[in-house]
Amino acid sequence: MGAAVVLHDDHEAFRASVREFLRRSVVGHVEAWDDAGIIPREPWLEAGRQGSWASTLRSAT
C-alpha cells in the first residue's frame, strides 16, 4: 500500500493556477505547436511570471 498524500490549501491553489494557465494558454494551441515543431517563447515566459515554471528557483531580481 502506498503512502497517503496530504495536500494543503497552498498546494491546491498552486494546482488550480496551473490548470487555469494550461486551459487559457496551452490547450487550444497544442495542435498548431505540434505541427510547427516548436512551442513559442511566450507561454514559457508566462508560466515563469506566474510561478508555474521552475517554482523552486529564486528570482534573479
Which are the contacts of 47, defined by CB distance < 8 A and separation ≥ 6? 21, 25, 53
Label residue 59 by pLDDT band (50, 70, 90).
low
pLDDT of residue 14: 87
pLDDT of residue 21: 92
Q: What is the pLDDT of residues 2-56, one digit of tens each?
A: 666 777 888 888 889 999 999 999 999 999 999 999 999 999 999 888 888 776 6
What phi and psi, each to the nearest 5 degrees, are found at residue 28?
Answer: -75, -5
